[in-house]
Amino acid sequence: MVVELLPLPNWVTFFTTFIILLLFTRRRLRLHRRKYNLPPGPKSWPIIGNLNLIGSLPHQSLHGLTKKYGPIMHLWFGSKPVIVGSSPEIAKVFLKTNDAVLAGRPKFSAGKYTTYNYSNITWSQYGPYWQQARKMCLLELFSVKRLESYEYMRKQELHAFLHELFNSKNKTILLKDHLSTLSLNVISRMVLGKKYLEKSENAIISPEEFKKMLDELFLLNGVLNVGDFIPWIHFLDLQGYVKRMKTLGKKFDWFMEHVLEEHIERRKCVNDYVAKDMVDVLLKLAENPSLEVKLERHGVKAFTQDLIAGGTDTSTVTVEWAISELVKKPEIIKRATEELDKVIGRDRWVEEKDIVNLPYVFAIAKETMRLHPAAPLLVPREASEDCNVDGYDIPKGTLILVNTWTIGRDPNVWDNPYEFIPERFIGNNIDVKGHDYELLPFGTGRRMCPGYPLGLKVIQSSLANLLHGFNWRLPNDMKKEDLNMEEIFGLTTPRKIPLEVVVEPRLPHHLYSL
Residues at the annotated binding site for heme?
A: 449
Contact at 8 Å (CB) between 364 and 332?
A: yes
Please tell me the distance from the alpha carbon of residue 231 to that of residue 176, in angstroms, as a whole number.
37
- With respect to residue 348, please indicate whether it lies within any of the assigned structural domains: yes
pLDDT of res. 274: 82
User: Half-sphere exposure of residue 150, counting CA atoms within 13 Å on the CB side?
Assistant: 26
Residues at the annotated binding site?
A: 449
User: How many structural domains does the chain have?
Assistant: 1
What residue spans of 144-202 are helical by DSSP H? Answer: 144-149, 151-167, 175-187
pLDDT of res. 415: 96
pLDDT digits (tens, 9 = 90+) for 229-262: 999 999 999 999 999 999 999 999 999 999 999 9
- With respect to residue 34, please indicate whether it lies within any of the assigned structural domains: yes
- With respect to residue 507, please indicate whether it lies within any of the assigned structural domains: yes
Closest CA to 403 of 69, 31, 35, 147: 69
Q: Which residues pair with 173 in a beta bridge?
A: 501
- With respect to residue 186, please indicate whether it lies within any of the assigned structural domains: yes
What residue spans of 35-93 are helical by DSSP H? Answer: 58-69, 88-92
Quickly count: other Cβ atoms within 10 Å of residue 278's Cβ.
25
- With respect to residue 4, please indicate whether it lies within any of the assigned structural domains: no
Please tell me the distance from the alpha carbon of residue 62 to that of residue 139, in angstroms, as a whole number.
37
* 3-class secondary-structure state, position 84: strand
Contact at 8 Å (CB) between 76 and 50?
A: yes
Q: Which residues pair with 49 in a beta bridge?
A: 45, 77
Strand extents, DSSP E, 119-261: 172-174
pLDDT digits (tens, 9 = 90+) for 362-383: 999 999 999 999 899 999 999 9
| Alpha carbon 466 to chain centroid, angstroms | 22
* 3-class secondary-structure state, position 283: helix
pLDDT of res. 109: 97
Please tell me the distance from the alpha carbon of residue 451 to that of residue 95, in angstroms, as a whole number.
18
pLDDT digits (tens, 9 = 90+) for 292-308: 999 999 999 999 999 98
Contact at 8 Å (CB) between 123 and 110?
A: yes
Contacts by residues 448-452 (CB-CB < 8 Å, ≥ 24 positions apart): 449/310, 449/314, 450/121, 450/134, 450/137, 450/138, 450/141, 450/142, 451/137, 451/141, 451/142, 451/307, 451/310, 451/311
Range of the domain at 90: 10-40+48-512
Quickly count: other Cβ atoms within 10 Å of residue 18's Cβ.
10
Pairing assessment for the beta strands 72-77 and 80-85 based on DSSP bridges? antiparallel
pLDDT of res. 14: 45
Please tell me the distance from the alpha carbon of residue 233 to that of residue 392, in angstroms, as a whole number.
31
- With respect to residue 384, please indicate whether it lies within any of the assigned structural domains: yes
127: left (phi over 0), alpha (psi -120 to 50) or beta: left
- With respect to residue 5, please indicate whether it lies within any of the assigned structural domains: no
Q: In what side-by-side order are the strands of the sheet with 470-473?
A: 172-174, 500-505, 470-473
CATH number of domain containing 35: 1.10.630.10
* 3-class secondary-structure state, position 504: strand
Residue 309 DSSP code: H
- With respect to residue 174, please indicate whether it lies within any of the assigned structural domains: yes
pLDDT of res. 271: 76
Q: Which residues pair with 77 in a beta bridge?
A: 49, 80
pLDDT of res. 6: 39
3-state secondary structure 35-90: CCCCCCCCCCECCCECHHHCCCCHHHHHHHHHHHHCCEEEEEECCEEEEEECCHHH
Please tell me the distance from the alpha carbon of residue 278 to that of residue 308, in angstroms, as a whole number.
10
* 3-class secondary-structure state, position 470: strand
CA distances from residue 495 to 19, 318, 352, 371 in whole angstroms, order as listed: 43, 10, 27, 13
Q: Report, as ranges of residue numbers, the positions in the chain whose pLDDT lies below 70.
A: 1-34, 197-202
